[in-house]
Amino acid sequence: MSLKDLHDPRPVVCDFNQMTYVEAIWFVAWHETDWFAVVYKDLDGVWCATHRFRYWNTADPWDRRDKKTVYTARDEAADANAGAKFAGTFDSISALMQVVNHGERWKMPVRGTPEQAAELLKRQPWVHTKVEPKPRTH
């Protein structure tokens, strides 16, 4: 597995247009900080785990001055259990962050398409979305 530190300045954490399957999504929030994670298969069918820390500048979820750090791990070894391993890791991390930071924790098992994940996300009280059209293919 490879780990890539993206330091992504954009508010987007997961681009469903770049996924073929979503295993689960996690979210933990505490004092002016939150953590979001997703385990998925990318367009090449490779298991990936992406997580993001956001340190708020203001309560505005679109504030570009928020500090965000995004990390992605990819299973380049094609381990058949990579999705379960990534999910287990995020289960442990989210539980620990909830306890240590006295935060609120959510886990959404999706086990389905990116469209199903997006529909589930829309119903969450902590989600702020901007929908962009899917890129056209020629």
Q: Are 125 and 58 in contact (CB under 8 A)?
A: no
DSSP states along 99-113: HHHT-EEEEEEEEE-
Question: What confidence score (pLDDT) does residue 82 get?
Answer: 95
Q: Are 97 and 103 in contact (CB under 8 A)?
A: yes
> What are the pLDDT digits (tens) for 84-129?
999 999 999 999 999 998 999 999 999 999 999 988 988 888 777 6
| Token pair in block for residue 129 | 């979305």
Residue 59 has pLDDT above 80, yes or no: no
> What is this structure's pTM?
0.80
> What are the pLDDT digits (tens) for 3-31?
333 334 444 567 888 889 999 999 999 98
